[in-house]
Amino acid sequence: MTNTSKTIVFFGTDDFSAAALRHLIEADYTIAAVVTQPDRKRGRGQQLQKPAVKVLAEAHHISIWQPASLLDIAKDLRALQPVAGVLSSFGRIIPADILKLFEPGIINVHPSLLPAYRGPTPIESTILQGDSHAGVSIMQLVEAMDAGPVYAQTSYPLDGTETQAELYDRLSVYGGALLVQHLPRILNHTLQPTPQDDTKATYTKLLTKADATPDPSQWTADALARKVRAHNVFPKTKLTVLGQLVVVTAAHVGDDRADGLIVQCKDDTTLVIDTLIGPSGKTMSADDFIRGYGQTT
């Protein structure tokens, strides 16, 4: 069942949110407008790049709003009344004056099993903590961060090899499918959300470039291997090996007899580097790096 009678305003920015928007489009929902962040300069050339959601909206001839402040579009949102709001990985706090314009509120696709991992980096935190499952929650936005009641959740089993990029891709598909599965009943008020247990809430932090340079003496090899996977897109993991600062792109835990390109870690554990980005910016195997830079003595 698909409810196409209610107009939707979609809030989102990156590839994760583009997956949710794509599901809505394919389910024939009427998208009145897509609200996204301004185009930004990225990469070495600092070229202006469009958000992934904007690219998708343009391809489907959907109106695009990129306000400097969300309050700037309050009048436009009122003109669309009644309107439903859907948000996924938008990257901005929604002011209370905007939240109250939507019925039944703004519906958020959040990539964790709430109340676990509220905040900006739930996927990274799931990998970093070594959880056996990840998940997605469909919830109603409130002023407090990710604290709104939950309409539905789905769990995704992990095998312990997932990287940040891989889990983003997989959960974006799960999230989009879960959204369109339950959205009709949310919009017609036959599915009521369940309040979260705030006593069980955990919180994540915004990652910065400072998180890219861990001290191995403060990390076990197992935790550091998880960090390599959890931060492989941003902020990455940089370690000094053979006197060179490199970006580690894949690694595993070794035993006492481990050889190759190794890093000694906390509690006498050993991290074995498999692949890396060398000082030249080239991705290479650990063996190629050793041949190029030589063994330490």
Regarding pTM above 0.85, the answer is yes
| pLDDT reported for residue 297 | 40
Give the end of a domain, one of 159, 178, 200: 200
| Structural domain contains residue 3 | no
Give the end of a domain, one of 167, 200, 233: 200
Give the residue with greater pLDDT, 259 vs 244. 244
| Structural domain contains residue 68 | yes
| Structural domain contains residue 125 | yes
Assess whether 54 and 130 both reside in one domain.
Answer: yes
One-letter amino acid at 72 equals D
| Structural domain contains residue 2 | no
Assess whether 131 and 223 both reside in one domain.
Answer: no
Give the end of a domain, one of 200, 217, 252: 200
What span, in angstroms and rounded, lies between the C-alpha atoms of 32 and 7?
Answer: 6
What span, in angstroms and rounded, lies between the C-alpha atoms of 144 and 151?
Answer: 17
| pLDDT reported for residue 296 | 47
Q: pLDDT for 99-118, tens place per residue?
A: 999 988 899 999 999 999 99
| pLDDT reported for residue 78 | 92
Residue 70: other Cβ atoms inside 10 A: 19
Which residues, including other chains, have CB under 8 Å from residue 209's CB and lie 6 or more apart? 235
Assess whether 196 and 73 both reside in one domain.
Answer: yes
Assess whether 151 and 229 both reside in one domain.
Answer: no
Q: pLDDT for 66-99, tens place per residue?
A: 999 999 999 999 998 888 999 999 989 999 999 9
Structurally, the chain folds into a number of domains equal to 2
What span, in angstroms and rounded, lies between the C-alpha atoms of 178 and 202?
Answer: 23
CATH of the domain at 277: 3.10.25.10
Assess whether 180 and 236 both reside in one domain.
Answer: no
Q: Binning pLDDT at 50, 70 and 90, where does residue 295 land?
A: low
> Is 10 in a helix, a strand, or coil?
strand
Average predicted confidence (pLDDT) for the chain: 93
Assess whether 155 and 275 both reside in one domain.
Answer: no
The answer to whether 50 touches 87, Cβ cutoff 8 Å, is no
User: Can you give the C-alpha Rg of the chain in angstroms?
Assistant: 22
Nearest to 175 by CA among 34, 9, 20, 8: 20
| pLDDT reported for residue 5 | 59
**Burial grade of 224 (CB within 10 A; 0-12, 13-18, 19 or more):** buried
Hey, which bits of 26-149 come out as E strands?
31-35, 40-42, 47-49, 64-65, 84-88, 106-110, 133-140
Assess whether 25 and 158 both reside in one domain.
Answer: yes
One-letter amino acid at 65 equals W
Q: Binning pLDDT at 50, 70 and 90, where does residue 47 land?
A: confident
Q: pLDDT for 158-213, tens place per residue?
A: 999 999 999 999 999 999 999 999 999 999 999 999 999 999 999 999 999 999 99
Give the residue with greater pLDDT, 39 vs 123. 123
Which residue range forms the structural domain that includes residue 80?
8-200
Distances (CA, A) of 74 to 65, 98, 207: 12, 7, 31
